[in-house]
Structure 1
Amino acid sequence: MKRLKVSFAIALTLGLAAGCTNEAVPSTKPGGTDEKNSPQAQSPENELFIYTVWPAYYVKEEIFQKQIGDFIKKKFPNVTVKHVHWDNPGRQYKDLIAAGTIPDIIMDDTRMNVQRYIIDNDLHYDISDLIKKYNFDTSKLNPAFMAQMRNLTPEGKIYGLPFYNNDYALFYNKDIFDKFGVEYPKDGMTYDEIYELAKKLTRVEGDITYKGFSQNPGHYLNYNQLSLSPLSRTEDKGDMSDPGWKKLVDNMRRFYDIPANQFDTVETFASKPSIAMAVATVSDHLVKFYEQNKNLNFDIASVPSLSDAPNTKYQPNVYSMYITKQSKKKDLAFQVMAALLSEEHQIELSKEGVIGPLESDAVKAAFGKNLPQMQGKHVESIFYGKNAMPPAARSQGLVWYDVPVQGVFQPLIFKESKDSVTALRMVQEQATKAIETVKAAKSEINQAASTNKQ
């Protein structure tokens, strides 16, 4: 366990967060307290320990049971599921590791957290042999999602399977389009075409400023449609020198240069309905926007694409399932994961507005059937086009760092009016310095560990 504790101390020293505000002590019952903190090896043979970090709403046990737990009970009636979610306080990775209660399955954000929490803490396990053993057909899953799984290592090892993609769509307010006599956006439109619509829809009338378009620039760059990574593939440094980065930044900043269309968070699309179009994540905003304004007259279209990458939406924003190296129940864990990816279960999740990895017409047709806000909406837009492939794997042993690409726009462009090249260079330099700090901390901790062994 020394390697686990040393690796996690690095993340703790640097104050790296898992991307959500919750942390927490593993419990043998959902929401309860584990009095004995019994180690993984002593858990009952029929108990499967599932630890969820993302999706964040699994902090609500009733949602986890509805989407995961109940189905496992149905398909595996002799299996008991112990579920713990990242929550405040005491249920972080470090708490589970320190207590010796290593999960059998971890569900987490692949891009943000797998390298720094699962791999760096030596929890990862190559499931390639299990895929062959149980004849699981990965070709039925979204190819970009599976590429995200394989691109974690240069050897293409598979540490997990995709479960849920929080993909993006273009939400638009039909009332604003009707008010100004502008045609609704259609699937397959480019950013150039959406820009022309945004100019027509941005105006000030009395006390109301109508904004033609809004999008989170950080998300736009993180999951960019050109498959670019802000990290060097071969060196421990940031690298945003590819001309495509400037193309991406210039494409987005022109929208916010439209007079009166200064940046406004997409979160106000429903609560303050003066934004005509907003690119936002589908699954969580279908619920959030509806809760904020049940009378909102909206519909959706596919996300705009770049002119040189037509019909290409964003890279996977995928949450995946991982079997830990320490699990004593790897076969059972894999069979459960495979069942969760069956068409039967994926259809039920799709009805609830979950975008899964299974490439199935029946799954797509079922999307949003249980959501009142999706009745009569253009659901086909959500599945229009293909996801951009994630960046290729980096060389072995390089430090992963979540480059704060949102800093390109905020504050460097929005507040300081930097030109695109300067803003990109500054964020790249910040990333390189941060990586150097990570490496220095690792070196210091490894030296201390070596000294303690002597």
Structure 2
Amino acid sequence: MKRVKVSLALALTLAMAAGCTNEAAPSTKPGGTDEKNVTQAQSSPDNELFIYTVWPAYYVKEDIFQKQIGDYIKKKFPNITIKHVHWDNPGRQHKDLIAAGTIPDIIIDDTRRNVQGQLINNDLQYDISDLIKKYNFDTSKLNPAHMAQVKNLTPDGKIYGLPFYNNDFALFYNKDIFDKFGVDYPKDGMTYDEIYELAKKLTRVEGDITYKGFSQNPGHYLNYNQLSLSALSKTEDKGDMSDAGWKKLVDNMRRFYEIPANQFDTVETFASKPTIAMGVATVSDHLVKFYEENKNLNFDIASVPSLSDAPNTRYQPNVYSMYITKQSKKKDLAFQVMAALLSEEHQIDLAKEGVIGPLETDAVKAAFGKNLPQMQGKHVESIFYGKNAMPPAARQQDLVWYDVPVQGVFQPLIFNESKDSVTAIRMVQEQATKAIDTLKAAKTEINKAATTTK
């Protein structure tokens, strides 16, 4: 079974290429939201549950959706039918389903990036707190950082969803390069300072081959940072990267790329061009991607390096969650299905396929990667080493959410323009504030136009 890398560009490509692999949403031209259609009830059979997936991107492949979700639902709820539609552009975006009056019962989406921009802005959100109580669902059994990522979207304490899948990070390392240069393998619990010393030893130029000691995506590193920092002000509509922790984070990463011959290069070539000794990458998709690109790659994994003042701390959750829409007429059924997907039985099944879920019992941990040939004999314990950093606290109500492109600190400002860390951080903060002002102005114009047409 081929699983594809979870990235926005690839999500778009795959969705368009595989448009007929899922049951298609009703044909509609992309356009603005129609208030009448937003509240229109779905005309689906009583035993049909409509699940709309946006992330993970590989659910564009129907066989993967069925293996990871659909088959288990059929097993536990044999009397219901699942209708599955995956996001596509154009034609299968949230606004298209809303305009057609075919609103899903459950949406699975990226929590940090899309929930405020898509779920809340499209008035699809529904507080499931009463359902949690009604069905005695114990959220305390779930990873607390995953739950916090769901709860911290709003300051009013409402719970709009439950975490389903965390595309967490690990340190992949090429054992052949370590062996070649006689360097000890990295261990769980190492700090960035320790990894930096290894990177200096492993960065070598031999003939026309450059061995790079370390590589990591700076955008992921900053977005899911281990200091739990947000690039947005919690009380105002503006960017805010004034916390001293931002400079600490930037300086920590830039030193790796200032090692002679270790200039930035994408970690994506870790398997296809195996000259990178160590690389931090997301687990679930890269376990498959790296194996497909190079089945002979002699690699293992260790826990992600931590900061010296945040020891044994993984990144903030890169979590995709399940949401029940307020328009759904099958909220009880939808919740029971979500609860089943979070059962230990199903979380074990997912763990065997290399999926990191929010339930981290001993049985789930022990099952991780059992169905993946590339994980046999690997140090899978590192996947669950330490704890996830908590996501930033909720911002003040009604503030505009903007996904600050923090990767811009490094590319282009540091890598291309050699800006100092303070200047690069300030420039990205200013760019974010300008972007938020533009979003607010556009929203004001839309509201004016709506008032005029009434």
Coarse TM-score class (shorter-chain normalised): over 0.9
Cα deviation, 1:144-193, whole Å, max 9, x if unaligned, reads 00001110111121000000000000000000000000000000000000
Counterpart of 1:4 in structure 2 is none
* Counterpart residue identity of residue 155, structure 2: P
Q: How does 1:116-195 map to 2 (within 5 A)?
A: 116-195=117-196
Cα deviation, 1:244-299, whole Å, max 9, x if unaligned, reads 00000000000000000000100000000000000000000000000000000000
**1:21 CA drift (Å):** 2.0
Cα deviation, 1:319-378, whole Å, max 9, x if unaligned, reads 000000000000000000000000000000000000000021100100000000000000
Cα deviation, 1:390-427, whole Å, max 9, x if unaligned, reads 00000000000000000000000000000000000000
Is the aligned partner of 1:414 residue 2:427? Answer: no
Distance 2:412 2:25 in 1: 43
Cα deviation, 1:185-218, whole Å, max 9, x if unaligned, reads 0000000000000000001000100000000000
**1:41 CA drift (Å):** 2.7
- What are the ranges of 5 or more consecutive residues in structure 1 without an aligned counterpart? 1-16
Distance 2:154 2:50 in 1: 26
Distance 1:241 1:36 in 2: 45
Instruction: Give the count of matched residue pairs.
Output: 435
Q: How does 1:218-367 map to 2 (within 5 A)?
A: 218-367=219-368
| Native 8 Å contact 2:125 2:326 kept in 1 | yes
Structure 1 pair 315–404 and aligned structure 2 pair: CA distance change class (3 A): same
Q: 2:22 aligns with which of 30, 51, 54?
A: 30
| Native 8 Å contact 1:407 1:427 kept in 2 | yes
TM-score of the two chains, using structure 1 as the length reference? 0.93
Distance 1:29 1:294 in 2: 28
Is the aligned partner of 1:21 residue 2:15? Answer: no
SS at structure 2 position matched to 1:287: helix
| Native 8 Å contact 1:18 1:113 kept in 2 | no
Counterpart of 1:51 in structure 2 is 52
* Counterpart residue identity of residue 399, structure 2: L
SS at structure 2 position matched to 1:264: coil
Cα deviation, 1:2-23, whole Å, max 9, x if unaligned, reads xxxxxxxxxxxxxxx9994267
- Higher alpha-carbon deviation: 183-192 or 89-98: 89-98
| Native 8 Å contact 1:399 1:439 kept in 2 | yes
* Counterpart residue identity of residue 405, structure 2: P
**1:42 CA drift (Å):** 1.4
**1:87 CA drift (Å):** 2.0
Distance 1:87 1:155 in 2: 32
| Native 8 Å contact 2:351 2:367 kept in 1 | yes
- Higher alpha-carbon deviation: 90-99 or 431-440: 90-99
Counterpart of 2:370 in structure 1 is 369
Counterpart of 1:102 in structure 2 is 103
| Native 8 Å contact 2:24 2:85 kept in 1 | no
SS at structure 2 position matched to 1:84: strand
SS at structure 2 position matched to 1:124: coil
* Counterpart residue identity of residue 249, structure 1: V
Cα deviation, 1:232-251, whole Å, max 9, x if unaligned, reads 00000000000000000000
Distance 1:451 1:21 in 2: 36
- What are the ranges of 5 or more consecutive residues in structure 2 without an aligned counterpart? 1-7, 30-36
**1:34 CA drift (Å):** 4.0
* Counterpart residue identity of residue 21, structure 1: L
Distance 2:198 2:28 in 1: 61
Counterpart of 1:404 in structure 2 is 405
| Native 8 Å contact 1:18 1:112 kept in 2 | no
SS at structure 1 position matched to 2:42: helix
Structure 1 pair 35–447 and aligned structure 2 pair: CA distance change class (3 A): closer
Distance 2:169 2:253 in 1: 16
Structure 1 pair 35–319 and aligned structure 2 pair: CA distance change class (3 A): closer
| Native 8 Å contact 1:28 1:34 kept in 2 | no
| Native 8 Å contact 1:152 1:393 kept in 2 | yes
* Counterpart residue identity of residue 247, structure 2: K
| Native 8 Å contact 2:165 2:320 kept in 1 | yes
| Native 8 Å contact 1:50 1:104 kept in 2 | yes
Counterpart of 1:387 in structure 2 is 388
SS at structure 1 position matched to 2:255: helix
**1:115 CA drift (Å):** 0.3
* Counterpart residue identity of residue 336, structure 1: V
TM-score of the two chains, using structure 2 as the length reference? 0.93
Is the aligned partner of 1:203 residue 2:204? Answer: yes
* Counterpart residue identity of residue 351, structure 1: K
| Native 8 Å contact 1:19 1:112 kept in 2 | no
Distance 1:321 1:378 in 2: 30
